[in-house]
Amino acid sequence: MATLSQPKLGQTIISLRQEKKITQEELVERCNVSVRTLQRIEAGEVTPRESTLRIILDALEFDYQQMEKTFHIKGRLEKLKIAWICGIIYFVTAFVEAGLDFYRFEVDLPAYFSLLYTTVKIVILGVYIFFMLGFAEVGKNFKHGLMKITAYFMLGAMIIIEIHDIISLFSAITEEEFFLIKGIESVAFGGINLAFGVALFKLGKELGDLSKIAGMLEMLAGLFFLTFVLAIFGVFVLIPATLLETILLYKVYDSFSNQIQNGQ
């Protein structure tokens, strides 16, 4: 069985004990552990052995397996919450990033442009990583290997692209060379987009039409990227796709949240 981590374990025991209106002393008498041991467990200082934890939970009339399942769901809940919030940030900042990519070759750029450009790229990369990790988590939950793998591939491709953009800012690359490289990147990214779209579409069995629509948009964007010359249309298709994917992550997060509230 998975290890239940501190300090949340201790906080959960305190919450259960208070719900039952049991003092530490009363709980100690019921489960035959020392007051100091219980205090340290509740304070998150030590993680009890499984046998000790079972005794404490039995005394609180709470099922060990139910607690383990709840912890497991809460762990995924936190990752999904971060993922959909990062999805919103990514959706907004992607427009800023696109503007900066076109503006970077203007003459007489302000002195702060390099710092602004680099900062936006780092923010984009950071939120996108957590955004895709959310889909990897969805893949794990629904035992969907293609979703998990393609999410990591999407993540890896974005890391390469954003790092290249930052490095190229400080090189002698021309505007034509930059957008040629962008086109080449789009072709490589298109194949991954296509696979990611297939994964989203297949998840429609579990997540409904929203996942299917997002999947179709991703596949369409991937096809545009693969043509090279129509890559710009792929960018526009990704706008509604990203929005739907963010909503999808929120729906999965909300579903897990309801499971915890309903004690499932």
Q: What is the DSSP string of 60-110?
A: TT--HHHHHHHHHHHHHHHHHHHHHHHHHHHHHHHHHHHHHHHHTTSSS--
Q: Return mean pLDDT, the chain.
A: 88
Q: What is the pLDDT of residue 2?
A: 44
pLDDT tens-digit map of 2-61: 456 778 788 888 988 898 888 888 888 888 788 888 899 989 888 888 888 888 888 888
pTM equals 0.75
- Collect the ranges in the chain with pLDDT lower than 50: 1-2
The CA dihedral of 160, 235, 138, 120, to the nearest 10 degrees, is 50
